[in-house]
Amino acid sequence: MKGGIFGLCGALLFVQDAIAQQLGSTPPGWVLRRQGDSGYECKCYPDDDCWPNKGQWEKLNNTVGGNLQVNIPPGAPCYNTFKGPLGDVETYDEAECEKVTSNWADEQFQIELPAAGLWTYFTNDTCRPTTTPTDTCTLGYYPVLVIMAKTDAHIQAGINFARENNLRLIIRNTGHDFLGRSVGWGSLVINTHSFQDIKFSDTWSGGCGYNGSAVTVGAGVQAFQVLEQANAMNPPKIMVTGECATVGVAGGLVQGGGHGPLTNFHGFLADTALEFKVITADGALKTANAKKNPDLFWGLRGGGPGAFAVILEATYKTFDDPPSAGINLDIDRTHTTNATLFWEAVRIFHGYSTYFVDNDLYVYYELGTAGQNLHVHPFVGVGKTLAELRAVVQPMFDDLDAIGIEYTTSGAEDFATFYDLYQTMFEGEAAGNSALTGGWTLGRQDVEDNHPGIISAFQTVLAAGSFMIGHMWSAGRGVPESQWASSSVNPRFRNVVDKIITLVPVAGNAPLAEKAAAQDKLTNVVDAALREAAPNGCAYVNEADPYEPNWQEAFWGDNYPRLFELRKKYDPEGVFYAVSTPGTEDWEQIETGTRLCRKV
Ligand SMILES: Cc1cc2nc3c(=O)[nH]c(=O)nc-3n(C[C@H](O)[C@H](O)[C@H](O)COP(=O)(O)OP(=O)(O)OC[C@H]3O[C@@H](n4cnc5c(N)ncnc54)[C@H](O)[C@@H]3O)c2cc1C
Ligand SMILES: *[C@@H]1O[C@H](CO)[C@@H](O)[C@H](O)[C@H]1NC(C)=O
Ligand SMILES: *[C@@H]1O[C@H](CO)[C@@H](O)[C@H](O)[C@H]1NC(C)=O
Ligand SMILES: *[C@@H]1O[C@H](CO)[C@@H](O)[C@H](O)[C@H]1NC(C)=O
Ligand SMILES: *[C@@H]1O[C@H](CO)[C@@H](O)[C@H](O)[C@H]1NC(C)=O
């Protein structure tokens, strides 16, 4: 480490500029690196001479009201010393260590930390809570500094500072991102958690052919917060969110699309968006709706998280919340140890996927999480009574009975609203897990033409030590075809009947060869099997392999060229970066996933 806490520009900068001039066009503030035969221009990091000096950081800190923090990884209180890129810090604190250890798997605990990633794989897991304080705690891929933004002006200052100093910038809301997009080595984070405003309106006055009810939410609002308030209204209201109550509703979710239990009726969260207030890479405050900046409005509706602008607030349609019913199904080793019989049951269950969504069911299931295990939790009938829901699922139960398999059903209940069902039947989820996440979707055509192939792909996924989470819905049913193109999600989604997440467990601090093997397995065995079995499917940018082959086509299909142009228009210099998002083809995280650079 050189130049004290914040590094100081010195003679080396001059030398580097001289090299840059020799090579031609490297702009100031970019750092030249080589890896293999390739040359790169990289963002500026703490060990580079272009890293801002103490005075510059102090000035930024003043501009953001003293809300700039040096980031200490969450496990640090369990270690004597945190060996950070800005210097060593004595961190041991027994009470804090106990707190972080016991809350490690608690989503909300991790969400409220300044810059934690809920999927620790992408933090590199270099400072896990421990009982051995003499072990080494380093930053790994956790960010270096964080702006805990409280106002629009703080976010603007952060964007401008990152752009002017060529720093790796990350926008962090809840830290849920399955692909590690809300953490990054050597980065400056803007944390949006304080943006908590929620405003309902009975009639949206923003025009664009819609005058129904709406809600405007700040960037940091989470699903459970807005749903709770919506449910307290008279009559109770609801909006499209994911199945997970802790995900943010104005950050990554809408920018990736945002599917959930109401998707059969209203499409993606992105389909229900009416307006965004944003700050673009040039630091300008903009409104994006169907009339103002309509191209940006379109891109923010499913065109990729963290790609075009920072969202300050978003407005969505809200809907009356109808009575609903649910039911759970479990088949595991307590029911049969006969693998042939188990897979026959899976085939029967899954063979109904098209029928389920055609009858407006949302079906959330896990396959293989505990070995030979099918956990359907739950079948959801939004707007249905339990009797109506039972009538829809009865043919499947008849088929299961016919092969003589035992199973358990539970939770069968009528609810006054979907919200009540959501609160009661959906299971909580844990943070702090380390896995590589992938996924693929199954088109209607694939299920009709190649169901045996799909089931053998599932068997391949499980045999590889992976497991899967499925979501049966139709994003094409509730949204008229004439409106499909108003959001930028892959048009293929409209014919999807099952959206699958695959998970390959791997420790975040595993040796590099083991990580490479896990990535290879995800891409070339697990997801490859699903892709091959379902050629009419596509991939969901928020729940996919970060290194999905042909990601442009897989994530966005025919919409990609327009999204690429949009990125070049709104962020020509690459102020924002998130893996496998539009226009990032030239960018690479070299030196084992650390320095973000563009190829020269
Ligand atoms: C347990 C679990 C369940 C899930 N269930 C669903 C589901 O049912 N349906 C579904 O569609 N998805 C689901 N997801 C995936 C979810 O959509 C993504 O993880 C999403 O990226 C989370 O967004 P976030 O803003 O809460 O998280 P973050 O990790 O903080 O951010 C995610 C991405 O969005 C960017 N971002 C965040 N805020 C902003 C902002 N204000 N402006 C610009 N960029 C921003 C970040 O830079 C990052 O790239 C689930 C994820 C988990 C972990
Ligand atoms: C920013 O200012 C606040 C308030 O003065 C201070 O507590 C904090 O340590 C400063 N941040 C940095 C990174 O110096
Ligand atoms: C990340 O973890 C790998 C081992 O999985 C290790 O080789 C590498 O040095 C780590 N890098 C950082 C920056 O923590
Ligand atoms: C809302 O729009 C509908 C259909 O365009 C129209 O019939 C109705 O009068 C409008 N209501 C209000 C309050 O403007
Ligand atoms: C397992 O189930 C299959 C399918 O029902 C059946 O043909 C087979 O005999 C069963 N095997 C055993 C060992 O019971």
Q: Is residue 472 within 8 Å of 379, Cβ to Cβ?
A: no
The confidence score (pLDDT) of residue 208 equals 74
- Three-state SS letters, 470-486: EEECCCCCCCCHHHHHH
The confidence score (pLDDT) of residue 87 equals 95
CA distance 197 to 225: 10
CA distance 413 to 574: 51
Determine the distance separating the centroid of ligand 2 and the alpha carbon of 385, expressed in angstroms: 56
Please, which pLDDT band fits residue 20 given cuts at 50, 70 and 90? Answer: very low
The confidence score (pLDDT) of residue 89 equals 96
Minimum-distance ligand to the CA of 137? 3
CA distance 232 to 210: 23
Q: What angle do CA 492, 493, 497 make, to 5 degrees?
A: 115
Determine the distance separating the centroid of ligand 4 and the alpha carbon of 212, expressed in angstroms: 8
Q: Is residue 537 within 8 Å of 441, Cβ to Cβ?
A: yes
Determine the distance separating the centroid of ligand 2 and the alpha carbon of 464, expressed in angstroms: 48
Per cent of the chain over pLDDT 90 is 93
Q: What is the token pair recorded at 87?
A: 């210097």
In the three-class reduction of DSSP (H, G, I as helix; E, B as strand; rest coil), residue 230 is classed as helix
Q: Is 556 exposed, middle or buried (0-12, 13-18, 19+ CB in 10 A)?
A: buried
CA distance 443 to 25: 47
2 has pLDDT over 90: no
Say what angle helices 339-351 and 386-402 make with each other, to 10 degrees: 140
CA distance 276 to 209: 16
Determine the distance separating the centroid of ligand 1 and the alpha carbon of 543, expressed in angstroms: 9
Helices (H) and strands (E) in the chain, counts: 20, 25
Average pLDDT of the chain, as a whole number = 94
- Three-state SS letters, 284-344: CEEEEECCCCHHHHHHHCCCCCCCCEEEEEEEEECEECCCEEEEEEEECCCCCCCHHHHHH
Amino acid at site 340? T
CA distance 359 to 337: 32
Determine the distance separating the centroid of ligand 1 and the alpha carbon of 1, expressed in angstroms: 35
Whether ligand 5 lies within 6 angstroms of the CB of 340 is answered as yes
508 has pLDDT over 80: yes
Q: Across-strand partners of 310?
A: 279
Backbone Cα Rg of the chain: 24
Residue nearest to ligand 4 atom 12, measured at CA? 211
Residue nearest to ligand 4 atom 5, measured at CA? 209
Determine the distance separating the centroid of ligand 4 and the alpha carbon of 462, expressed in angstroms: 52
Q: Please give the biggest Cα pair distance in the chain.
A: 80
Q: CB under 8 Å to 394, separation ≥6 — which residues?
A: none
The confidence score (pLDDT) of residue 25 equals 59
Ligand 1: residues within 6 Å at CB?
Answer: 118, 170-178, 181-182, 192, 219, 242-244, 247-248, 251-253, 255-256, 258-260, 305-306, 310-311, 429, 542-543, 578
Q: What is the token pair recorded at 549?
A: 């082959």
Residue nearest to ligand 4 atom 11, measured at CA? 211
CB atoms within 10 A of CB 166: 24
Ligand 3: residues within 6 Å at CB?
Answer: 124, 126, 138, 140, 185, 509-512, 515, 592, 594
398 has pLDDT over 70: yes
Determine the distance separating the centroid of ligand 5 and the alpha carbon of 402, expressed in angstroms: 14
Q: Is residue 223 within 8 Å of 249, Cβ to Cβ?
A: yes
Please, which pLDDT band fits residue 1 given cuts at 50, 70 and 90? Answer: very low
Determine the distance separating the centroid of ligand 5 and the alpha carbon of 342, expressed in angstroms: 10
Minimum-distance ligand to the CA of 186? 3
Determine the distance separating the centroid of ligand 3 and the alpha carbon of 33, expressed in angstroms: 19
List, edge to edge, every strand of the sheet that includes 145-148.
Answer: 68-70, 145-148, 188-191, 169-172
Determine the distance separating the centroid of ligand 5 and the alpha carbon of 320, expressed in angstroms: 49
**Per residue in 60-99, pLDDT tens?**
999 999 999 999 999 999 999 999 999 999 999 999 999 9
Q: What b/e readout covers 236-251, taking b as 16+ CB neighbours within 10 angstroms?
A: bbbbbbbbbbbbbbbb
Whether ligand 2 lies within 6 angstroms of the CB of 64 is answered as no
Determine the distance separating the centroid of ligand 5 and the alpha carbon of 399, expressed in angstroms: 16
Determine the distance separating the centroid of ligand 3 and the alpha carbon of 516, expressed in angstroms: 12
Please, which pLDDT band fits residue 371 given cuts at 50, 70 and 90? Answer: confident
Helices (H), 42-126: 54-63, 94-103, 107-111
376 Rama class: left (phi>0) / alpha (psi -120 to 50) / beta: beta
Determine the distance separating the centroid of ligand 3 and the alpha carbon of 105, expressed in angstroms: 22
Nearest partner of 433 among 139, 131, 138, 110, judged by Cα:
110
Determine the distance separating the centroid of ligand 4 and the alpha carbon of 225, expressed in angstroms: 29
Q: Which atom of ligand 1 is nearest to the CA of 268?
A: 11
Pocket mutation for ligand 2, best pick of 57, 59, 69, 188 (most atoms within 8 Å of C-beta): 69
Residue 84 has φ and ψ, to the nearest 5°, of -90, 165
The confidence score (pLDDT) of residue 370 equals 82
Q: Is residue 335 within 8 Å of 372, Cβ to Cβ?
A: no
Cis preceding-peptide flag for 235 (omega within 30 of 0): yes
Q: Which atom of ligand 4 is nearest to the CA of 209?
A: 5
Q: What is the token pair recorded at 37?
A: 């035969």
Whether ligand 5 lies within 6 angstroms of the CB of 337 is answered as no
Pocket mutation for ligand 1, best pick of 192, 247, 285 (most atoms within 8 Å of C-beta): 247
Minimum-distance ligand to the CA of 148? 2
Q: Which atom of ligand 5 is nearest to the CA of 404?
A: 5
Q: Is residue 280 within 8 Å of 300, Cβ to Cβ?
A: no
Q: Is 257 exposed, middle or buried (0-12, 13-18, 19+ CB in 10 A)?
A: buried
The confidence score (pLDDT) of residue 433 equals 84
Question: What number of CA atoms fall less than 13 Å from residue 210's CA on the CB side?
Answer: 22
Q: Is residue 314 within 8 Å of 220, Cβ to Cβ?
A: no
Determine the distance separating the centroid of ligand 2 and the alpha carbon of 70, expressed in angstroms: 8
Compute the average pLDDT of residues 103-120: 96
Minimum-distance ligand to the CA of 261? 1
The confidence score (pLDDT) of residue 319 equals 98
Residue nearest to ligand 3 atom 13, measured at CA? 140
Residue nearest to ligand 5 atom 5, measured at CA? 341
The confidence score (pLDDT) of residue 209 equals 83
CA distance 484 to 493: 10
Residue nearest to ligand 5 atom 12, measured at CA? 338
Minimum-distance ligand to the CA of 343? 5
Whether ligand 2 lies within 6 angstroms of the CB of 68 is answered as yes
Threshold 0.85, pTM exceeds: yes
Chain-centroid distance of CA 184 in Å reads: 14
Minimum-distance ligand to the CA of 68? 2
Q: What is the token pair recorded at 66?
A: 């003293």
List, edge to edge, every strand of the sheet that includes 587-589.
Answer: 31-35, 38-42, 595-599, 587-589
Ligand 4: residues within 6 Å at CB?
Answer: 203, 211
Pocket mutation for ligand 2, best pick of 61, 145, 148 (most atoms within 8 Å of C-beta): 61
**Per residue in 32-58, pLDDT tens?**
999 999 999 999 999 999 999 999 999
Please, which pLDDT band fits residue 4 given cuts at 50, 70 and 90? Answer: very low
233 has pLDDT over 50: yes
7 has pLDDT over 70: no
Residue nearest to ligand 5 atom 2, measured at CA? 341
369 has pLDDT over 90: no
Q: Is residue 304 within 8 Å of 581, Cβ to Cβ?
A: yes
Q: How does DSSP classify residue 430?
A: B
Q: Is 37 exposed, middle or buried (0-12, 13-18, 19+ CB in 10 A)?
A: exposed
Q: What is the token pair recorded at 295?
A: 């191209």
Determine the distance separating the centroid of ligand 1 and the alpha carbon of 253, expressed in angstroms: 5
| DSSP assignments along 120-187, one per residue | GGGGT--S---S-TTS-EE-TTS-SEEEE--SHHHHHHHHHHHHHHT--EEEESSS--TTSTT--TT-
**Per residue in 301-340, pLDDT tens?**
999 999 999 999 999 999 999 999 999 999 999 999 999 9
